A = this chain, B = another copy of it.
Amino acid sequence: MIDLQRDGAVFVLRFDHGENRFHPDFLAAAQSALDEVEKAEGPRALVTVGTGKFYSNGLDLDWLGANREKFEEYLRSVHALYARLIELPAPTVAAVNGHAFAAGGMLVLAHDAAVMRDDRGYFCLPEVDLGMSFTPGMNALIQARLAPPVAHEAMITGRRYTSGQALDAGIVGQAAAEADVLPAAVERAASLAGKDGSVVASIRKYLYRDLLAALRGPVLTPAAE
């Protein structure tokens, strides 16, 4: 489901479970892998990557449908993954090998940098078309990482961004051919791995203190309660 490999200073966390939706087991495995990255010694940086057509399609709606009573607890664990990346004492790069939709797109936004495949795959926040709203933590994450006109268009229109459009919008910082997405992300991560992880984390924690508070606060908006 999730596989962590270290190559020199770069850890590659590969999501390998179809659409890479956030099943509770997936979330637990991701947290365990991040424990390992956090405990490691020496210069290090993290790359996350999916498999095939999907980086991640976000919430596991099938599981949620069968476990409605765990809705809030589940959303808290998704928030916790975003918060974990923001607090991770190492630079992070998303290798967006395919679709990054909804909560999976927001996972991209929780990284320090992102490289996106340029021939196929979209970044998309389709909640508006699914009749869903964004949690306070998700609102805070999107607003903390995207310019106001981009956040508006992504959230209100559910636009599907190609890599070129995502690059222009500042959603990702780099585009690459399919075969080059992971190597480019690893190269970017290696270039950042020399930074003191505790300093990186310290800067992020203060910069995003309001976001982190929102990710640890209520998962329902007042209107949705």
**Does A200 lie within 8 Å of B133, measured CB to CB?**
no
Chain B residues near A113: list those with CB within 8 A.
153, 157
Minimum CB distance partner of A151 in chain B:
B207
Cross-chain contact of A156 among B139, B151, B204 (Cβ < 8 A): B204
Q: Which of A185-200 contact B (CB under 8 A)?
A: 192, 195-196, 199-200
Chain B residues near A150: list those with CB within 8 A.
170
**Does B91 lie within 8 Å of A157, measured CB to CB?**
yes
Choose, from A1-9, A14-22, A47-55, A123-131, the stretch at the interface.
A123-131
Q: CA A199 – CA B147 in complex, angstroms? A: 22
A199 to chain B, nearest CB (A): 5
**Does A202 lie within 8 Å of B173, measured CB to CB?**
no
Instruction: List 17 A-B residue pairs with CB atoms under 8 Å apart, sorted by A's residue number.
Output: A91-B156, A112-B152, A112-B156, A128-B199, A128-B200, A131-B199, A132-B199, A134-B207, A136-B206, A139-B206, A145-B148, A155-B203, A155-B207, A158-B195, A202-B223, A206-B221, A206-B222
